[in-house]
Amino acid sequence: MNNKIQGITLIALVITIIVLLILAGVTINLTLGEGGIFSKAQIAAKNYTNAQERELAELTEFEGKIDDRINNITLRINDTKGLKNFAEKVNSGDTFEGETIVLQGDIDLNEELNWTPIGSIDHPFAGTFDGKGHKIMNLNITTDEEYQGLFGCNTGTIKNVGIESGTLKVGPRSGGIVGRNTGIIESCYNKADITCENCWESGIGGVVGNTLDGSLVSKCFNEGNINSDAKGEASGAGGVVGYAEGKKNVVIQFCYNIGNVTVKQIGSVSNMRAGGIVNGGPGLVDSCYNRGVIMLEGGYKANAAVGGIATMSFQDISCIKNCYNSGTITRWWFDFRLGEWRCRKLLLARRIGGMVVWSNL
């Protein structure tokens, strides 16, 4: 605004000078013609404005570099290409430990038909990824491999980013934001539908697949539908966290789920579980709620459990507080004696609970 005012003032001054020159006897051609005084004044005004704009751009760039140095920002990502390049660096062994990556805007992955997650079990992401409140659209993954999501494996911090849309057809230990987490996941969300058609072990979750000892999942929510076809030793799903393996030192707080969670038996399975917030028994679940429909289908000759908040709780390990469930909790199983499917709903069976199922608190 100041540049425009200065430009107008300069032009007004030039016009005044032109009038005075004409009054003094200077010709119109010399004053207004091509290469005349007025033309040169216009060029001078334009050059002045351009110089001011360049100075402002250089100052903004300088301030950005200072901000990057203060906050240890290593990389700013603006588009799909930048996000892919970042993923390739992490998957090649650059963990970005002690460094910060910032997302500068929303990113649409509609041209990425099968996204390769950022970080793997051998090369996890160890830095800080700050989405700055931006979102990822059209996150699509199709694979039977485990550790799938926007990120594959994380030992650092992922915050302020959401999965706005997409479809994930993945293997176990997968989630919308990250597959495997031993770090911090904060202020993240998922709205993509996630399916594990061959979930032979562990679980899938809306935000996090598996979270382990020493990890934190805070201020996160899921709105996507979570479906797991269970078989094998142990399989399940959770609205926010697919499975909490660390138990005592895992914290899940200020989270909610409104997506439907369904675990369906498709083969021989020893344990199958579905939880509104988490499958498993973490150290602390605090101030969380579920409004999604949580359903278990099958579980014949298996330890089967379905809970509105969690599926397990252990004395001297687990604490569940300030939580509530308003979603429907259902278990279907096939009664071979009668040759028909039967259904039990909330609190009508020993292994169906509104808050938590297995407990020895």
Structural contact between residues 253 and 288, judged by C-beta atoms closer than 8 angstroms:
yes
Question: Which three-class secondary structure state does DSSP give residue 196?
Answer: strand
Could you tell me the pTM of the whole model?
Answer: 0.78
CA 254 centroid distance within chain: 16
Whole-angstrom distance, CA of residue 172 vs CA of residue 151: 14
State the fold for domain 74-359: Pectate Lyase C-like (2.160.20)
pLDDT of res. 343: 58
Which is nearest to 328 in space by CA: 228, 237, 260? 260
Cα 348–210–107 angle (5° rounding)?
115
Rg (CA), the chain: 30
Residue pLDDT, tens place only, 287-296: 999 999 999 8
Predicted confidence band of residue 358 (pLDDT cuts 50, 70, 90): very low
Amino acid letter, residue 294:
I
DSSP labels for 297-334? E--TTSEEEEESSEEEE-TTT-EEES-EE-S-EEEEEE
Whole-angstrom distance, CA of residue 335 vs CA of residue 337: 5
Which is nearest to 68 in space by CA: 118, 25, 102? 102
Residue pLDDT, tens place only, 158-204: 999 999 999 999 999 999 999 999 999 999 999 999 999 888 777 89
